[in-house]
Amino acid sequence: MDLIQEVREENNFVKNIFNRFKKRDFSGTTGQAVKNSSYQLAQNLIFKFGSLLFTIVIARMLLPDRMGLYNLSLATIVLFASFSDLGIGAALITFGAKLLGKDNKTKAKGYVKKLFKWKINLLVITSFILLAGAYFIAEFYYQKPIFYAILVGAIYLPILGILGFVETLFKTTENFKTPMFKEIIFQITRFVLVPLTIFVFLKSGMSDKLMIVVTLLAITASYSVALLFLVFRAKKKIDFLKVKSEDLNKKEVQGLKKFILPLSATALAGMFFGYIDTLMLGHYVASEFIAYYGAAFALVGGAAAIIGFMSAALMPIFAKKSGKALENIFKKARNLTALISIAAGIFTWFVAYYVVRIAYGIEYLQAVPVLKWFSVLVVIMPVIAIYRGYFITQKKTKGLAWLVFGSAVLNIILNFFGIRYGLEQFGMMGAVYGAVGATILSRVLYLVGLIWMKKRKT
């Protein structure tokens, strides 16, 4: 009877959503959540479909060898980009949304000023460290021709970091529409500029290492266009930025640091949790095998992000709610996400060959078994996002930090042994399968930990 009642509740929840769209009724908390979710879904769809199409196009243009170098360079730069956030985005949404909900605009701006100052400092430090370590990373650890590509990160990081901060400002005010238009502009700019750049320089016979450099520079230029758009819109749309700010007192600064500190540990651990597979493969295998792994993960990551749109859209709502109302919203969002994820995971397993064959071509067919196993991630990653959003907005970040840290350490250990064993027994493709197994197992255990922690806290 409990299961039947649960299914009925989910059906009613879905019907309520469709009725609100039909009547264009976005009143109340549920209506706001539906509105936010719809824009977030649209942005995720544009981002993931655009990114997937972009990846497919450049993968076909660059072919596995160059594509592997591109994936490795970008993963390294994005890894360093994580150092420049360290929970600042989550803090901006959590504190900003609460204060704006109380109509305390002056204090909200005070938090924005403090967090932006910290963000700039982190961007400068991170960019300098990346420049200083680029030669060692490329020539000694990877032993691949990506030194100049990594140097591009010193430009890429500040632009991406400020872009993310301004976008978070819009979402703090529950304006999900403007970030959606930003995504459209970025995807169009990137899809035109980057393939055109690759085409021109391929015709000129440019070397592999310089080809990756110009590709990353073209992507950086695309992000710059999107940033200019957001800054222009922020001046018109974010009203509380126009008021005089109220500086944070010592207690508030300490409270902010106390909130961010566990998230900093989470972000640092999350970097390795998210990218250790690619970074370790970069040390052990040739670039084309990194491309096979990256091709499959791109497809899975796109599907998981589209399904998990609710996590980002509901963070401002989670931040404002507590008690029974919070638990009801969380439960419905989690259950609906899980149902969709399971269906998507099964679908991914059965169509893996056709997806890879049509999308990437015969040069990437070795990615088919990788994609099949990664269908497990399609099921669990969106659910993980819901739990993570819940814990962050409820300021239960200490337990989350320890969980992510433990999962990251476990992921590193599993990847080390999985990649080495696979390499010794089955060659470079075996190393890829070792990374796949380690990635799946570590994320399954992470989800189990989140569920246990949620039950323990409530």
**Is residue 6 predicted with pLDDT exceeding 50?**
no
Percentage of the chain lying above the pLDDT 90 cut: 48
Report, as an integer, the average pLDDT of 356-379: 94
* 82 vs 443, more confident: 443
Q: Helices marked H in 84-205 — which ranges?
A: 88-101, 105-135, 147-151, 153-172, 177-203
89-127 pLDDT, tens digit each: 888 888 887 788 777 888 888 888 989 999 999 999 999
Residue 391 makes CB contacts below 8 A (sequence gap 6+) with 397, 399, 400, 450, 453, 454
**Torsion sign across C-alpha atoms 385, 389, 23, 4:** positive
45-89 pLDDT, tens digit each: 788 788 888 999 999 999 999 999 999 999 999 888 877 777 788
Report, as an integer, the average pLDDT of 239-259: 84
Report, as an integer, the average pLDDT of 147-157: 95
Query: What DSSP assignment string belongs to 140-165?
Result: III-SS-HHHHHTHHHHHHHHHHHHH
**Is residue 176 predicted with pLDDT exceeding 50?**
yes
d(CA 146, CA 73): 6
d(CA 450, CA 59): 35
Question: How many other CB atoms are found less than 10 A from the CB of residue 298?
Answer: 22
Confidence of residue 308 (pLDDT cuts 50, 70, 90): low
Return the pLDDT at 205.
Answer: 82
d(CA 30, CA 32): 5
pLDDT, the chain, mean: 85
Residue 154's domain comprises 2-457
Q: Under DSSP, is residue 327 helix (H, G, I), strand (E, B) or coil?
A: helix
| pTM of structure | 0.82
Return the pLDDT at 312.
Answer: 58
**Is residue 324 predicted with pLDDT exceeding 60?**
yes
124-139 pLDDT, tens digit each: 999 999 999 999 999 9
**Is residue 311 predicted with pLDDT exceeding 70?**
no
Question: How many other CB atoms are found less than 10 A from the CB of residue 92?
Answer: 22
Return the pLDDT at 18.
Answer: 53
d(CA 46, CA 352): 22
Return the pLDDT at 7.
Answer: 42
How many structural domains compose the chain?
1
Residue 454 makes CB contacts below 8 A (sequence gap 6+) with 387, 390, 391
